[in-house]
Amino acid sequence: MSEAPSFSRPTIRRLSGHVIDLIAAGEVIERPAAALKELVENAIDAGATRIVVALRAGGTDRIDVTDNGCGMTPVELELAVERHCTSKLQDDHLVQIRTLGFRGEALPSIGASARLSITSRTPDSDTAWCIRVDGGVITSPQPASGPVGTRIVVTDLFFATPARRKFLKSARVESGHAESVMRRLALSAPHCAMRVLLDDKVLFDLPEQSPISRAASILDTTPDTLIPLDEQRGAVRLSGFACGPARTRATGSGQFILVNNRPVTDPMLRTAIRVAYRPVIERGRFPVMALHLKVPLERLDVNVHPAKTELRFADEAEIRSLVIGGLGRALGHGSKGGGGIHASFASRSSIVYPPRPPEIRPPGTSATAPALPLQASLPTASTPHSPQAAPRQGFAETDPAFAPAARAPQQPEALDPAFPLGASIAQVFDTYILALAPDGDLILVDQHAAHERLAHERLREQYASGGTLRAQALLLPEVVDLPRREAEALMARAEDLARLGIDLESFGPGSVLLRSVPALLGAQDIQGLLKDIADELASDPDLDAASTGSFAHHLDAILARMACHGSIRAGRRLKPEEMDALLREMERTPRANTCSHGRPTWLRLTRRELERLFGRVK
């Protein structure tokens, strides 16, 4: 039997100021990027219109921040390196906080764990002043040379706290964190020119810019690809710019969120973004955007964490709803609003040409007849460009064929710019529609992916408007055999599925009897559809008959699976009129740039990409 540990009564003592500073430094300055963030925020708060940042080894060896802000006097320099001294709180309340910094902890924390030098000059002073802090030891301000503004140099970060320095990552990793911080701060202050150097190499050099130009620079895109947002709900406003679903990343590094100009990484906001994009992007991908929330100061608490990157909202539900709804409306346009993916090819020297594909021949063509690699179909002078020519009905296999029309070739300048997907000119491999856009670009459409989205949106709209999808009874009810768990999951939701037009009843252990399907889909691939829905429902371990919220979570996925099974299949040959009608429907259907699984429905091939392919341009 082990002995009880010995116990001696501890006594409470007051910590020294140096230890207090080291503890505070551990909260505020967890890595070089955190120190850099505090210094640049101070520069922005000082009214700087130009900031230059130079880093060595990701900031571990040296951080140099120079600004042209208002500067500090010698007395203010001495106060600046004392804990809890700040110029940004004009009263004793933490409510009306309009600046990025306000706690008065950054400079003392940095000075406690590193070697800090601050050189500053005000506009009405004839000289600059320099103060130094070395591991918490402060040297009085001394006259120095320097322009109006402030220059802060931090060297040997964490030399006074070796344990913290030991846990730093490699210079490459720390450089990545520093770059992320600077991009977020650059986005928050488009009025401020920013130049960032990493080991003497220019990371970025941005002039003063408009908000959309700064967003395009930070998101590494062009302004014309950004979807603007401007939503107001009461006193809360959501603005900014979002990229369409065609532009995503493997991580959330492309999501920039500002709240009252403060860069934040709030988990609630990130969740709202994920929910808004879930119907239009592939699972596992992350959207790219720069969002700006304006919230009344009295409804926001920024004093949550020393790093000031987390917030508390007085009404989280209101904010979440605004973000989801605002992004949903911005993404809810058809292909007429732009989107798609710009196809890009490697340079001609790096192209590896695949073996010649098997020849595609129309039915009944003998092997000795000339090969037809694609089904040509010229555009009609009237069909693709008159709104009346686009039928309102669906494009399922059971739809009636469209009336044939004589077609005549058209030049790009004759195409109607009101229809950006242009006119169909061919069907490739009986799967992809080739169209000519009004600007001369080539458009490639995946007919199954596109029609899947159209069917999904029609199902969603019909369900939302009436709450029940019209059912089509099967002439002969069909027995579907399933694993017991999946059959039970279906029967637990039989009443909800009936509202979707799927009428089921139990048919013994592991089997169900299907009596009707949604009329919009027709009677295609019934077995596959029901098995997919059963798999979707059975994947939720918390699913039960009393949990309506659980079914609501799966509803859109079920509608997507239904749309997939009721869509035009790859390999089906379409008539020219059907292809044109599909393009017109895509232009006016919400979220038509991606299919229900988040994959693109169409690609754009520009003249420049073609010229690169043929070696005309580099």
User: Over the stretch 250-296, which tens digit does the pLDDT of each residue have?
Assistant: 888 899 999 988 888 888 999 999 988 887 887 788 999 999 999 98
User: Over the stretch 533-556, which tens digit does the pLDDT of each residue have?
Assistant: 788 777 765 554 444 444 555 677
Please say if the pLDDT value at position 1 is more than 60. no
Q: What's the CATH code of the domain at 184?
A: 3.30.565.10
Q: Check whether residue 474 and residue 463 sit in a common domain.
A: no
Q: Which of 301, 330, 269 is nearest to 95 (CA)?
A: 301
- Which tokens in the block code for residue 190? 């488009």
Q: Is residue 5 part of a domain?
A: no
Q: Is residue 9 part of a domain?
A: no
Domain limits at 495? 470-519+525-565
- Give me the pLDDT at residue 249, please: 87
- Give me the pLDDT at residue 232, please: 92
- Give me the pLDDT at residue 62, please: 95
Q: Which of 184, 206, 228 is the last residue of a domain?
A: 206
- pLDDT grade for 4, boundaries at 50, 70 and 90: low
Q: Which of 331, 360, 383 is the last residue of a domain?
A: 331
Angle between helices 32-45 and 106-113 (to 10 degrees): 140
- Give me the pLDDT at residue 184, please: 93
Phi and psi, residue 482, nearest 5°: -140, 160
- Amino acid identity, position 224: D
- Give me the pLDDT at residue 183, please: 95
Q: Dump the DSSP string for 10-34.
A: ----PPPHHHHHHHHHHHH-SSHHH
Please say if the pLDDT value at position 381 is more than 60. no
Please say if the pLDDT value at position 140 is more than 60. yes
Q: Is residue 239 part of a domain?
A: yes
Count helices and strands (H / E) in the chain.
16, 26
Query: Cβ(481)–Cβ(528) under 8 Å?
Result: no
Please say if the pLDDT value at position 508 is more than 60. yes
- pLDDT grade for 613, boundaries at 50, 70 and 90: confident
Q: Check whether residue 286 and residue 417 sit in a common domain.
A: no
283 or 13: which leads in pLDDT? 283
Please say if the pLDDT value at position 400 is more than 80. no
Q: Is residue 358 part of a domain?
A: no
Strands 289-294 and 255-259: parallel
Please say if the pLDDT value at position 131 is more than 90. yes
Q: What's the CATH code of the domain at 510?
A: 3.30.1370.100
Q: Check whether residue 462 and residue 529 sit in a common domain.
A: no
User: Average pLDDT of 292-305?
Assistant: 81
- Give me the pLDDT at residue 91, please: 52
Distance CA 530, CA 536 (A): 10
- pLDDT grade for 388, boundaries at 50, 70 and 90: very low
- pLDDT grade for 523, boundaries at 50, 70 and 90: low
Q: Check whether residue 50 and residue 165 sit in a common domain.
A: yes
User: Average pLDDT of 493-501?
Assistant: 84
Please say if the pLDDT value at position 237 is more than 60. yes
- pLDDT grade for 348, boundaries at 50, 70 and 90: very low
Q: What's the CATH code of the domain at 431?
A: 3.30.1540.20
Q: Check whether residue 103 and residue 192 sit in a common domain.
A: yes
- Give me the pLDDT at residue 86, please: 64
Q: In Å, how far from its chain's centre is CA 311?
A: 20
- Give me the pLDDT at residue 55, please: 96
pTM of the model: 0.66
Phi and psi, residue 303, nearest 5°: -95, 60
Q: Is residue 355 part of a domain?
A: no
- Give me the pLDDT at residue 387, please: 38
User: Over the stretch 196-215, which tens digit does the pLDDT of each residue have?
Assistant: 999 999 999 999 999 999 99
Tally of structural domains, the chain: 4
Distance CA 466, CA 477 (A): 26
Q: Which of 174, 190, 206 is the last residue of a domain?
A: 206
522 or 165: which leads in pLDDT? 165
Q: Check whether residue 483 and residue 604 sit in a common domain.
A: no
Mean pLDDT is lowest, of 70-74, 257-261, 355-359, 490-494, for 355-359
User: Average pLDDT of 12-37?
Assistant: 70
Q: Check whether residue 229 and residue 319 sit in a common domain.
A: yes
Average pLDDT taken over every residue of the chain: 78
Q: Check whether residue 83 and residue 136 sit in a common domain.
A: yes
Q: Is residue 3 part of a domain?
A: no
Phi and psi, residue 366, nearest 5°: -75, 160
Name the H helices within 353-493.
Answer: 447-466, 484-492
- Give me the pLDDT at residue 398, please: 39
Q: Check whether residue 309 and residue 280 sit in a common domain.
A: yes
Q: Check whether residue 112 and residue 229 sit in a common domain.
A: no
Q: Is residue 367 part of a domain?
A: no
520 or 488: which leads in pLDDT? 488
Q: Check whether residue 174 and residue 80 sit in a common domain.
A: yes
Q: Is residue 366 part of a domain?
A: no
Q: What's the CATH code of the domain at 311?
A: 3.30.230.10
Q: Check whether residue 175 and residue 244 sit in a common domain.
A: no
Query: Cβ(323)–Cβ(269) under 8 Å?
Result: yes
User: Over the stretch 444-476, which tens digit does the pLDDT of each residue have?
Assistant: 999 998 998 888 888 888 777 776 787 888 888
Q: Which of 129, 111, 112, 109 is nearest to 120 (CA)?
A: 129
